[in-house]
Structure 1
Amino acid sequence: MKFTDYIWQEALPVYEKIQSHPFNQELKEGTLPVEKFKFYIYQDSLYLADFAKALALAGTRANSSQELLDFLQFAQNAILVERALHISYFKEYDIAFDGGKAPGCFAYTNYLLATSAYGSYEVAVAALLPCFWIYKRVGDYIYANQKSPNPYQNWIDAYAGEDFAKSVEKALAICDSLAENASESTKIKMTEAYLTASRLEYVFWDSAYRLEAWEV
């Protein structure tokens, strides 16, 4: 069994909760309230800015020049997606550029940045993987089961598209390659990092659905 197959099974209950979450179910049906989608898009733009930094940080610790290039490309893609959100969704939905990170976004981005800066390269790669893999799985699920026409079609198409699929496959291959040469203790830490980031993926969607705000 490949390492990524193993960690997918370990985190499968988390993914199933993400897939069945009202945010994704209502997005699939096209019934998600616009204010919740707007909240999500704004938080996603903040997330992607830090995700790009975490990817670049991890890349600087790569074991090969090819993996460095891969992670820098991942980071560039995240920045391009963030800019596209600003150009399209922010204009279409009249989203304000203020408010800052909600608690869920704050927790997730800070975990990724800290892990990429202070964890091992192997652990950083595992922590960054859910944003690729879970989004791809959710995008594919929604694309295959959506009600049409859907007001959120552009978002659905982006995460079910071939370009994103290629990035996901590359990230999976890097993670498997690292695990093959890792010690058992490192693989345990990689699994824990993948699980933690997967849980934070759930927190991020739940935060958007609840329009989460700081209580104090």
Structure 2
Amino acid sequence: MRFTDQLWQQITPLYETILSHGFVQELAAGTLPATKFQYYIQQDALYLTDFSRALAQLAVKATAPADILQFTEFATNAIRVERILHEKYFALYDIQPETSKKPACFAYTNFLLATAATQSLAVGVAAVLPCFWIYREVGKSIYAQASPQNPYQAWIDTYAGDDFDWVVSQMLALTDQLAESASPTERDQMKAAFMQSSRLEWYFWNDAYQLEEWQV
């Protein structure tokens, strides 16, 4: 069993919870209220800026030229490709980018940046992997059941598409490669980081579904 297979095995119940979440189910049905998707898109734009920073930090830690290039490309594409998607919906809904992070976005981005900065390359990679991998699996699942003329089809197509699939495959291969040379302790840290980011994925969607705000 590959190391990434072990990672997925440990979050399988959590992934099923994500798939059954109201945000994901209503997104697939095309019935998700526009206000909730707008909240999500605004927060996602903030998230991706810091996600790109975390990937850039990993590029600095990498030693193999191929890995440095790969992380740099991932960081660039996280901004370039998905910004196009965000701008489409910003224009469609006539909304502006948010400037304030809500609770889940704040927690998730700070976890990623702290992990990338203070932990090993392998642990940092495990922390950013759920954003790639879970989104691909959710995208493909929604694509298979999406309603015709879904207002969120552009989002679905992005994460279910071949280009994103290729990126995720590259990240999985890199994670397995790093795990091979990691110590048992470091592999445990990779599993813990992967699990924590996976939990925060659920919270990110849940915040949007609940239109969560800071309580105090």
TM-score, length of structure 1 as denominator length: 0.98
State the distance in 1 between where 2:149 and 2:59 align: 40
Q: Which letter maps to 2:8? A: W
5 Å matches for 1:46-61? 46-61=46-61
Moved more, 42-51 or 91-100: 91-100
Q: Is the Cα contact below 8 Å between 2:139 and 2:160 reproduced in 1?
A: yes
Partner SS for 2:61: coil
> Given the alignment of the two structures, is residue 174 of structure 1 paired with residue 170 of structure 2, yes or no?
no
Partner SS for 1:149: coil
State the distance in 1 between where 2:145 and 2:135 align: 15
Decide whether aligned partners of structure 1 residues 136 and 86 sit closer, same or farther in structure 2, where only a CA change above 3 A counts: closer
Q: What residue is the counterpart of 1:201 in the other structure?
A: 201
Q: Which letter maps to 2:126? A: A
In structure 2, the gaps of 5 or more residues are: none
Q: What residue is the counterpart of 1:109 in the other structure?
A: 109
State the distance in 2 between where 1:87 and 1:37 align: 13
> Given the alignment of the two structures, is residue 154 of structure 1 paired with residue 154 of structure 2, yes or no?
yes
Give the Å deviation of 1:99: 4.9
Deviations 1:78-106 (A, max 9, x none): 11134314431111111223451100000
State the distance in 2 between where 1:94 and 1:157 align: 22
TM-score, length of structure 2 as denominator length: 0.98
What is the aligned length?
Answer: 216
Q: What residue is the counterpart of 2:62 in the other structure?
A: 62
Q: Is the Cα contact below 8 Å between 1:41 and 1:85 reproduced in 2?
A: no
Deviations 1:118-145 (A, max 9, x none): 1111100000000000000000000011
Moved more, 85-94 or 137-146: 85-94
Q: Is the Cα contact below 8 Å between 2:59 and 2:68 reproduced in 1?
A: yes
In structure 1, the gaps of 5 or more residues are: none
Q: What residue is the counterpart of 2:34 in the other structure?
A: 34
Q: Which letter maps to 1:21? A: H
Q: What residue is the counterpart of 1:142 in the other structure?
A: 142
Identity percentage over the alignment? 54
Decide whether aligned partners of structure 1 residues 59 and 176 sit closer, same or farther in structure 2, where only a CA change above 3 A counts: same
Q: Is the Cα contact below 8 Å between 1:11 and 1:195 reproduced in 2?
A: yes
Q: Which letter maps to 1:17? A: T
Decide whether aligned partners of structure 1 residues 86 and 140 sit closer, same or farther in structure 2, where only a CA change above 3 A counts: closer
Deviations 1:160-179 (A, max 9, x none): 00110110000000000011
Q: Is the Cα contact below 8 Å between 2:41 and 2:86 reproduced in 1?
A: no
Q: What residue is the counterpart of 1:9 in the other structure?
A: 9
State the distance in 2 between where 1:89 and 1:165 align: 22
Give the Å deviation of 1:13: 1.0
Deviations 1:26-50 (A, max 9, x none): 0000000000000000000000000
Q: Is the Cα contact below 8 Å between 2:46 and 2:98 reproduced in 1?
A: no
Deviations 1:159-202 (A, max 9, x none): 00011011000000000001111110000000000000000000
